[in-house]
């Protein structure tokens, strides 16, 4: 779509309907063209191409309740402007401002977008206190049921609950996750054997096929070097259970060098943990760990591992176990053959605010204290600036039964030397089953406000299957933002609750459209 304008001719101005502002009259010719979704993967983006006989500096504004603005600081005759934040199913008004030597002028473009796919959730804003919230919009790592596989479409919505960006990754045919932005602004996501790097316009910056002996899953994190730590399963990795060799999964970490584009290290959790401790494994026997999250400590080169079927584990750069944060029940010898060292000395002892250990029933996990509980089926560990650990405690099979169904985000203070753990803060227990998510979910520290962002990503009552995103003031425990995403699950079997049969909100982030 393009047009050409001579700003001296009033007749042309009237015919084209230009909104023109200038400090003084100046004659030059320019053209503006735009292309919707230029890379075919981000339907709420566009690209504006500006050509001018004089050098100009361009800026844009997408009009709406939540505006999006961008600018290019350099002067040029030919300018390409990316446009983010278009509204779906709308005739978007985009104001283009051109600054030039003798003043400035404005043009208003109309960019028409299609509706969202009909399987997108209904978004309800329950609480909004913008002055108390972390800046940015609401980014969702969303995966839609697709008859036994997932259709991955991460999206970002604004404070009005309007989706303003999404990435259509359905070409991959399976789940691609987790959705995150690296330090350099790259959007990184992985499939089982593929690492994808995109920009916000949906352009593929890099696509890397890894060694097929490794299968990536659940989490990938960027470490200060810019390289990646990734949860993986490894082909032909076995554990011995009661004399039988069983293929295991989800129990290795790999180090991926982005510059060399190759795997340069690995950690084997099977050699450091008790692989036949199955009190919380309701999947197949080989999924004894079910690793789902990583947090890297650059101060000492250690990694915190979240394992749904065991707890939280800390290992160092040399692949040595440091501690285990989990109920003490039934821990034994480490090793894939069960013939390694005793894991029990690595278990953290739970203490109260006075430094006194809780009774044995709390330590083994059969009961919970009013001010302490272990993480059950945890997800998404994070290291806080004070050195403490934040994690989403799903509460799956809490106290080894299904009676206490609540989820929460919890902060732990750990003494590595004395092998103790103290609970210092939590949110969610008080909300009971209406905030309970047995799978997925997320917790994030927001550095500007020091608030905590909590995602309970799979709330499954008898009706209104949903996910919730809540921003909590850590000091007061007050919700300053809450949104409920009501899932539709149009392309799955809701009665099965199996992989790819229901929609899931894996994680969420507070994220501006442009870094």
Per-residue pLDDT of the chain in tens (515 residues, 90 and over written 9):
443 333 333 323 323 333 333 333 356 789 999 999 999 999 999 999 999 999 999 999 999 999 999 999 899 999 999 999 999 999 999 999 999 998 999 999 999 999 999 999 999 999 999 999 999 999 999 999 999 999 999 999 999 999 999 999 999 999 999 999 999 999 999 999 999 999 999 999 999 999 999 999 999 999 999 999 999 999 999 999 999 999 999 999 999 999 999 999 999 999 999 999 999 998 888 999 999 999 999 999 999 999 999 999 999 999 999 999 999 999 999 999 999 999 999 999 999 999 999 999 999 999 999 999 999 999 999 999 999 999 999 999 999 999 999 999 999 999 999 999 999 999 999 999 999 999 999 999 999 999 999 999 999 887 789 999 999 999 999 999 999 999 999 999 877 768 899 999 999 999 999 98
For residue 211, tell me if it sits in a domain: yes
Note whether 131 and 210 are same-domain residues.
yes
What's the pLDDT at 27? 67
Note whether 415 and 439 are same-domain residues.
yes
Note whether 41 and 182 are same-domain residues.
no
Q: How many residues are present in the chain?
A: 515
Confirm if 83 and 47 have CB atoms less than 8 A apart: yes
Note whether 46 and 193 are same-domain residues.
no
Task: Count other C-beta atoms under 10 Å from residue 225's C-beta.
Answer: 11
Note whether 347 and 459 are same-domain residues.
yes
What is the domain extent for residue 93? 2-112
Residue indicated by tokens 């290992």: 315
What span, in angstroms and rounded, lies between the C-alpha atoms of 1 and 226?
40
What span, in angstroms and rounded, lies between the C-alpha atoms of 117 and 442?
25
Note whether 355 and 382 are same-domain residues.
yes
Q: What is the CATH number of the domain that holds 162?
A: 2.120.10.80
Note whether 353 and 438 are same-domain residues.
yes
What span, in angstroms and rounded, lies between the C-alpha atoms of 474 and 305?
24
Q: Could you write out the DSSP letters of every residue in 428-494? A: SGGGGGGG-BSS--EEEEETTTTEEEEEEEEE--SS--EEEEEEE-TTT--EEEEEEEE---TTS-T
Note whether 80 and 207 are same-domain residues.
no
For residue 117, tell me if it sits in a domain: no
Residue indicated by tokens 């459209």: 513
Asked which of 59, 89, 112 is the last residue of a domain, the reply is 112
Note whether 129 and 92 are same-domain residues.
no
Q: What is the CATH number of the domain that holds 61?
A: 2.60.40.3100
What span, in angstroms and rounded, lies between the C-alpha atoms of 94 and 58?
13
What span, in angstroms and rounded, lies between the C-alpha atoms of 325 and 348?
6
């Amino acid at each position: 779509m393009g047009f050409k304008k001579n700003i001296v001719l009033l007749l042309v101005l009237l015919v084209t309907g230009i909104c023109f502002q200038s400090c003084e009259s100046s004659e030059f010719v320019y053209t503006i063209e735009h292309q919707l979704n230029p890379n075919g993967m981000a339907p709420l983006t566009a690209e504006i191409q500006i050509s001018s006989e004089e050098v100009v500096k361009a800026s844009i504004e997408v009009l709406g309740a939540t505006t999006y603005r961008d600018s290019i600081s350099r002067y040029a005759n030919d300018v390409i402007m990316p446009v983010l934040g278009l509204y779906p199913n709308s005739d978007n008004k985009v104001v283009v401002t051109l600054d030039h030597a003798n003043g400035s002028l404005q043009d208003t473009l109309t960019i028409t977008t299609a509706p969202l796919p009909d399987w997108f959730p209904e978004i309800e804003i329950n609480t909004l206190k913008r002055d108390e919230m972390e800046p940015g919009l609401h980014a969702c790592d969303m995966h839609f049921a697709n008859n036994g596989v997932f259709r991955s479409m991460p999206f970002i919505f604004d404070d009005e609950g309007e989706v303003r960006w999404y990435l259509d990754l359905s070409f991959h045919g399976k789940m691609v996750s987790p959705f995150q932005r690296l330090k350099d602004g790259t959007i990184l996501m992985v499939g089982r054997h593929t690492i994808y790097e995109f920009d916000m316009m949906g352009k593929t910056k890099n696509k890397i096929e890894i060694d097929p002996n490794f299968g990536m899953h659940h989490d990938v994190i960027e470490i200060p070097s810019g390289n990646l730590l990734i949860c993986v399963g490894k082909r032909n990795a076995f554990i011995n259970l009661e004399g039988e060799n069983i293929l295991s999964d989800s129990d290795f970490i790999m180090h991926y060098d982005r510059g060399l584009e190759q795997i340069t290290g690995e950690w084997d959790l099977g050699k450091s943990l008790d692989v036949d401790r199955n009190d919380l494994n309701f999947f197949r026997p080989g999924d004894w760990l079910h690793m789902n999250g990583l947090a890297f400590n650059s101060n000492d080169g250690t990694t915190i591992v979240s394992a749904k079927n065991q707890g939280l584990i800390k290992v160092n750069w040399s692949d040595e176990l440091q501690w285990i944060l989990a109920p003490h029940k039934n821990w034994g010898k480490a090793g894939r053959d069960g013939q390694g060292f005793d894991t029990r000395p690595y278990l953290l002892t739970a203490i109260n605010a006075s430094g006194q250990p809780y009774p044995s029933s709390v330590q083994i996990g059969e009961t919970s204290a009013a001010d302490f509980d272990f993480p059950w089926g945890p997800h998404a560990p994070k290291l806080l600036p004070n050195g403490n650990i934040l994690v989403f405690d799903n509460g799956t099979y809490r106290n080894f039964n299904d009676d206490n169904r609540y989820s929460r985000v919890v902060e732990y203070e750990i003494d590595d030397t004395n092998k103790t753990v103290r609970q210092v803060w939590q949110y969610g227990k008080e909300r009971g089953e209406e905030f309970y998510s047995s799978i997925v979910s997320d917790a994030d520290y927001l550095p500007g406000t020091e608030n905590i962002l909590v995602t309970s990503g799979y709330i499954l009552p008898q009706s209104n299957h949903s996910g919730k995103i809540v921003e909590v003031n850590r000091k007061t425990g007050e919700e300053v933002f809450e949104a409920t995403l009501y899932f539709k699950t149009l392309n799955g079997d809701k009665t099965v609750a199996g992989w790819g049969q229901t929609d899931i909100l894996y994680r969420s982030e507070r994220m501006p459209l442009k870094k």
